[in-house]
Chains A and B, each alone.
Chain A
Amino acid sequence: DAGVIQSPRHEVTEMGQEVTLRCKPISGHDYLFWYRQTMMRGLELLIYFNNNVPIDDSGMPEDRFSAKMPNASFSTLKIQPSEPRDSAVYFCASSNRGGYTFGSGTRLTVV
């Protein structure tokens, strides 16, 4: 198994642009999680899905952030418009009933 796959690994974008982060969970895992990590705030849970349905999006910072999971093998996290304070590492993780498996993350820099 290739694990949780995130793309891109690095993204540099200008303020105001739309950014889309992608995640492919491990096959057979029915939960998918999006996290954001910064030095100031640590690892924050943004949203998670169960069987492609969003269960808890209380961690999504504001309306500029949206996440979708159109099928069991793909999820996106979109920021529109992006701002410099969105610069962070974004992790995706998947799980069934046990421990989570994290992807390698996307390092986002908004200039």
Chain B
Amino acid sequence: DAKTTQPTSMDCAEGRAANLPCNHSTISGNEYVYWYRQIHSQGPQYIIHGLKNNETNEMASLIITEDRKSSTLILPHATLRDTAVYYCIVRAFDMRFGAGTRLTVKP
């Protein structure tokens, strides 16, 4: 599986968009980009995934660059409940987690 690089931590003001970057310069053609988050000690929660097109669902949007070497997860209107560790993973199938980005949403 390709390696990913994410910032260790980020802050965001409540109500503003949170933009979480991820670099995956060694991604292969058949590897998807997945995003998960983990709130406190709960199990990780699936957010969104994509191959090469931008994706949007009720939780977030995923923007993947044309060369697929990086992506950005966008939470359009962050709330305090979005405070969590966010993991970016690229995989063909089995999922191996890095350290992720600790997002803190502040009032």
Contact = CB atoms under 8 A, between A and B. Distances in A.
Interface of A: 4, 33, 35, 42-43, 45, 48, 55-56, 89, 91, 93, 98-105, 107
A23 to B, nearest CB: 11
A73 to B, nearest CB: 19
B95 A33 contact: yes
B97 A42 contact: yes
B99 A103 contact: no
B66 interface: no
A61 B94 CA distance: 18
21 contacts: A4-B43, A33-B94, A33-B95, A42-B97, A43-B87, A45-B96, A45-B97, A48-B94, A93-B44, A93-B95, A98-B49, A99-B36, A100-B46, A100-B95, A102-B44, A102-B45, A103-B43, A104-B42, A105-B42, A105-B43, A107-B41
Interface residues of B, number: 16
Nearest to B94: A48
Interface of B is mostly: loop
Contacts of B34: 99
B94 A45 contact: yes
Interface of B: 34, 36, 41-46, 49, 87, 94-99
Contacts of B96: 45
A43 B97 contact: yes
Contacts of B99: 42
Question: Which 3 residue pairs are nearest across A and B when measured between Cβ atoms?
Answer: A102-B43, A99-B46, A43-B97
